[in-house]
Amino acid sequence: MQDYDMLIGGNWAASAGKQWVESVNPFTAKAWARVPRGTVADVDRAVSAAKHAFVSKEWSGMTASARGLLLFRLADLIAKHAEEIAKVETTDNGKLINEMAGQLRYIPQWFRYFGGLADKLEGRVIPIDKPGVLNFTRYEPLGVVVAITPWNSPLMLATWKLAPLLAAGNTVVWKPSEHSSVSALILGKLFKEAGFPDGVVNIVTGFGNEIGERLVTHPDVAKVAFTGGDQTGQHVYEQAARGIKHVTLELGGKSANIVFDDASMDDAIKGVISGIFAASGQTCIAGSRALIHRPIYNEFVGKLVEFAKTAKMGDPLSTETQVGPVTTPQQYKKVLEYIQIAKDEGAKCVLGGGPAKRPELGDGWFVEPTIFSEVDPKMRIAQEEVFGPVLSIIPFDTEEQAIEIANGTIFGLAAGVWTKSMRRALVMSEKLQAGTVWVNTYMAVSYLSPFGGYKRSGIGRESGIESIREYLQTKSIWIDVSESTPNPFVMR
Ligand code: NDP
């Protein structure tokens, strides 16, 4: 068992309550590390450190170019430690080492991209409609940002917040998920090594229901950047509203992968499989609904099931494994409950449909890759986010019907379209209510392209050039350069 401390004001700190949270390996179901169970007093210390750092000479007096260089340095350190951090993440959340290592190798690009952007945040000189006045704008940081992140892609989802917010000149108090805090604390060491001034990055661990409210409502916090489930997101949004705080929310999804009869069937099958089973369905962009064009429906479902049967379950640290366990016992229970709900509602289970218990799977929380066919779009299994390896297949006849079904949930995070027709690709991309639409591919993300949700999938965008605006406010500056003082009783 290894113990890790929190990072507050540049110091490694135990919890003020002197208690710990155990981090459990989802493959062995055994605790392997402990992180401090942070308290409200710890949150207050961290916010105070972030507030002081925000106005400190070391940070506020640093040029934007120098801030960018710090982010480059951090990127190099992450690249150097990528393999080791990826192993920690897999041990913490049970997701495949192939996926976590891929993410860790890619994460430095976000820090480099936003590091490069730091000194390009140029305001505008506005040709104002009044004589004798110079008007221009500046972008300024907001202040202390609270970042709250989930367990499924711990550092990747945090990076989408940390890189732009730091490039913009803010400071941060970050609370990772209680199930996956170790990689955050390792990253904390790298922030120190890179040379970030004390207090610019603070990491508080613990339970969201114990310290979340204080984080979100603290009077010295200017903004909350949250990724997690939509129910928690709504709660955070309501609480932040009490303090009129800036908020971005990256929430859940029920994304549709839509396959037309003119698509390459082999490619579409791979896209549908990777969309749902690759991360055991534990990704916000999981393609948890497959909408299949009626003329190819039977053939597609038959081939899809045969392909899915070949998925190799096992130790997520093995590079041979294709489907790992789900992350927590609560999640395991929730996924199995949804499978039962689908059966009770009359969906036809054509693959899996229960827990996976085999000697090679040890005590891990494994659920069989599960496919339901003939799903009615109104069933709960087709409406609610399961966050597990469960796919609902729904037939459709026309483009209009596919759009109506795809858009017919409260969510709008992503969608996939499989077709060889350029017209169809464009029409569908335009009409789908989703922040991301992939055509003939699925699950691609980049630091260069904005990501975020429509409807209940969220507010705001992460990645891409415009995402830095989520961490800035615009100031309009007026300078009177006229020679005579204007009439004070008339508005200029
Ligand atoms: P949760 O919503 O349960 O938790 C997210 C974070 O919020 C955790 O750090 C959690 O802490 C914290 N939290 C919990 N309660 C509160 C509270 N009252 N106040 C403030 N913070 C709180 O999500 P999960 O961790 O279960 O992650 C899975 C969810 O995340 C899925 O719904 C998924 O779709 C979504 N997600 C969205 C993405 C997107 O970009 N749109 C990307 C990835 C995931 P603790 O762990 O201690 O409870």
Domain assignments of the chain as residue spans, ordered by start: 2-251+457-476, 256-439
Q: Is the pLDDT of residue 126 over 80?
A: yes
Q: Report the pLDDT value the prediction gives residue 244, as an integer from 0 to 100.
A: 97
Point out the catalytic residue in the list 89, 99, 178, 250.
Answer: 250
Q: Is 203 helix (H, G, I), strand (E, B) or coil?
A: strand
Q: Is the pLDDT of residue 488 over 90?
A: no
The rounded Å distance from CA 52 to ligand 1 centre is: 28
pLDDT in tens, 69-121: 999 999 999 999 999 999 999 999 999 999 999 999 999 999 999 999 999 99
Q: Give the pLDDT mean for 14-39.
A: 94
272 touches 257 (CB < 8 A): yes
Q: Do domains 2-251+457-476 and 256-439 have the same CATH topology?
A: no
Tokens of 388: 């597990």
User: Which stretches of 94-181 are DSSP H helices?
Assistant: 97-117, 154-167
**Distance of CA 282 to CAs 68, 425, 451, 490, Å?**
33, 27, 17, 61
C-beta atoms surrounding 317 within 10 Å: 17
Superfamily for domain range 256-439: Aldehyde Dehydrogenase; Chain A, domain 2 (3.40.309.10)
Report the C-alpha gap between 191 and 87 in whole angstroms.
19
Which CATH fold would you assign to the domain 2-251+457-476?
Answer: Aldehyde Dehydrogenase; Chain A, domain 1 (3.40.605)
Give Cα 90 to chain centroid, integer Å: 17
Strands (E), 228-360: 246-250, 256-259, 289-293, 348-351
Name the residue of 155, 205, 227, 232 to mutate for ligand 1: max ligand atoms within 8 A of Cβ.
232
Q: Report the pLDDT value the prediction gives residue 260, as an integer from 0 to 100.
A: 98
Report the C-alpha gap between 310 and 288 in whole angstroms.
19
Our answer on whether the CB atom of 177 is closer than 6 Å to any ligand 1 atom is yes
Report the C-alpha gap between 24 and 177 in whole angstroms.
13
Mean pLDDT of the chain: 96
Our answer on whether the CB atom of 478 is closer than 6 Å to any ligand 1 atom is no
Residue of the nearest CA to atom 16 in ligand 1? 208
477 touches 136 (CB < 8 A): yes
Give Cα 247 to chain centroid, integer Å: 14
Tokens of 260: 């037309």
